């Protein structure tokens, strides 16, 4: 049998003999698939990129997976060389420059951002918020781009967070409208953050970040975490500090009703202390009732997960 006939199924009786329809390449949005070729990593063919249901990084054996953070509509990732690449929906400049509103394959951030990152030794961590992204550099500085409340000037491609002289950021986390940063002793924020009731509790621009937490007794901050509108810090001694809007009384009662709570459905007050520090607030408070040493925390839109000893 000739080469053209290999692998072709015979047509069933009564079926159309027309050739099967060919799928059109996925180049409807942004750059064509070959325009999003990934950066070199020092290994030939170290990474492969696959499109279809959605862009995916397919690492080859022996090559570390680049750091990647994904929000609802876009993805920001860092390579082993300290470059930052993005794809997805470019809401308010969150993809870091360019003229495409949607990228179906990864593209390196615009030249001004890429040059600033390279000048500080490259990116060592990335974070993605609702309409912004950020990168922490090897020098301990933080660059933000997109829309982050008053943090990034509209006409500028990015903003450098002006932390106090000598401060090197060791960790950061992004919420919907705010970015947290820590040097291991204090926590700063830029953007806009809320209190437990959903009212604005504070705002800060990149040129004047707001110090939100300085632990008593010289205790250290091991890591920070951010939900949509909530923030948390885990301390070196296993403590947990939480603030912002995690769950307020109005929405809490609604959740209880939908969950089938008889007491809440009847209008009786639920046995919940809505003033508890674990539900958030305008300022950081220590959550005392966990009864174990905290190792890590993750915040969602309305809930928190805590890892303890």
pLDDT in tens, 126-155: 999 988 999 999 999 999 999 887 766 666
What share of the chain has pLDDT > 70, as a percent? 68
Confidence label for 9 from pLDDT (cuts 50, 70 and 90): very low
For the cut 60, the answer to whether the pLDDT of residue 51 exceeds it is no
pLDDT confidence of 57, banded at 50, 70, 90?
very low
Q: Which two tokens stand for residue 164?
A: 């106090």
Summarised one tens digit per residue, pLDDT across range 258-270 is 666 555 455 555 5
pLDDT above 80 for 238: yes
Tell me if 196 sits within 8 A of 282, measured CB to CB: yes
Res. 287: pLDDT tops 80: yes
User: What per-residue confidence (pLDDT) applies to 66?
Assistant: 62
Predicted confidence band of residue 306 (pLDDT cuts 50, 70, 90): very high
Q: Which of 74, 42, 83 is nearest to 55 (CA)?
A: 74
- Please give the pLDDT value at position 251: 67
Instruction: Determine the average pLDDT of the residues in 213-242.
Output: 93
**pLDDT of amino acid 161:** 96
CA–CA gap between residue 234 and residue 238 (Å, rounded): 6
Within 10 angstroms of residue 249's Cβ, the number of other Cβ atoms is 16
Mean pLDDT of the chain: 77
User: What does the block give as tokens for 251?
Assistant: 């929405």
Considering only 90-99, 158-167, 206-215, 244-253, which range has the smallest mean pLDDT? 244-253
In this structure, are strands 67-70 and 74-78 parallel, antiparallel, or unpaired?
Answer: antiparallel
3-state secondary structure of 253: helix
For tokens 């508890």, name the residue. 276
Angle formed at CA 127 by CA 304 and CA 69, multiple of 5 degrees: 80
pLDDT at residue 28 in the model: 36
What pLDDT does 267 receive? 56
Span 147-170, average pLDDT = 84
CB 173 within 8 A of CB 224: yes
Token pair for residue 160?
């450098």
- Tell me the pLDDT band of 27, cut-offs 50, 70 and 90: very low
The pLDDT value recorded for residue 211 is 97
Confidence of residue 50 (pLDDT cuts 50, 70, 90): very low
Q: Which pLDDT does position 13 carry in this prediction?
A: 42
The pLDDT tens digits for 82-133 are: 999 998 888 788 889 767 778 888 889 999 999 999 999 999 999 999 889 9
The predicted pLDDT at position 35 comes to: 37
Asked if the model's pLDDT at residue 62 lies above 60, the reply is no
Ranges 50-54, 72-76, 156-160, 304-308: which has the least confidence: 50-54
Q: What's the distance, CA 66 to chain centroid?
A: 15
| pLDDT above 70 for 175 | yes
């Amino acid at each position: 049998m000739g080469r053209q006939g290999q692998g072709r199924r015979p047509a069933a009786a009564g079926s159309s003999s027309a050739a099967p329809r060919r799928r059109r390449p996925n180049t409807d949005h942004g750059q064509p698939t070959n325009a999003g070729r990934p950066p070199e990593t020092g290994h030939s063919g170290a990474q492969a990129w696959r499109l279809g249901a959605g862009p995916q990084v397919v690492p080859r054996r022996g090559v570390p997976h680049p750091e990647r953070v994904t929000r609802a509509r876009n993805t920001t990732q860092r390579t082993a060389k300290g470059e930052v690449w993005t794809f997805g929906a470019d809401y308010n400049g969150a993809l870091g420059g360019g003229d495409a509103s949607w990228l179906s394959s990864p593209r390196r951030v615009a030249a001004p951002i890429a040059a600033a990152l390279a000048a500080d030794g490259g990116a060592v961590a990335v974070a993605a918020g609702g309409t912004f992204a950020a990168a922490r550099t090897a020098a301990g500085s933080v660059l933000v781009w997109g829309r982050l409340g008053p943090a990034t000037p509209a006409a500028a491609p990015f903003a450098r967070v002006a932390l106090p002289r000598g401060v090197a950021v060791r960790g950061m986390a992004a919420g919907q409208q705010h970015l947290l940063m820590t040097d291991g002793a204090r926590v700063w924020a830029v953007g806009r953050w809320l209190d437990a009731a959903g009212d604005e509790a504070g705002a800060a621009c990149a040129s004047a970040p707001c110090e939100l937490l300085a632990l008593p007794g010289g205790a250290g901050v091991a890591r920070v975490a951010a939900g949509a509108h909530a923030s948390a810090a885990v301390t070196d001694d296993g403590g947990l500090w939480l603030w912002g809007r995690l769950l307020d009384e109005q929405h809490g009662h609604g959740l209880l009703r939908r969950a089938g709570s008889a007491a809440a459905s009847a209008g009786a007050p639920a046995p919940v202390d809505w003033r508890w520090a674990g539900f958030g607030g305008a300022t950081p408070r220590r959550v005392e009732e966990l009864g174990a040493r905290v190792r890590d925390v993750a915040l969602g839109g309305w809930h928190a997960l805590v890892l303890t000893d």
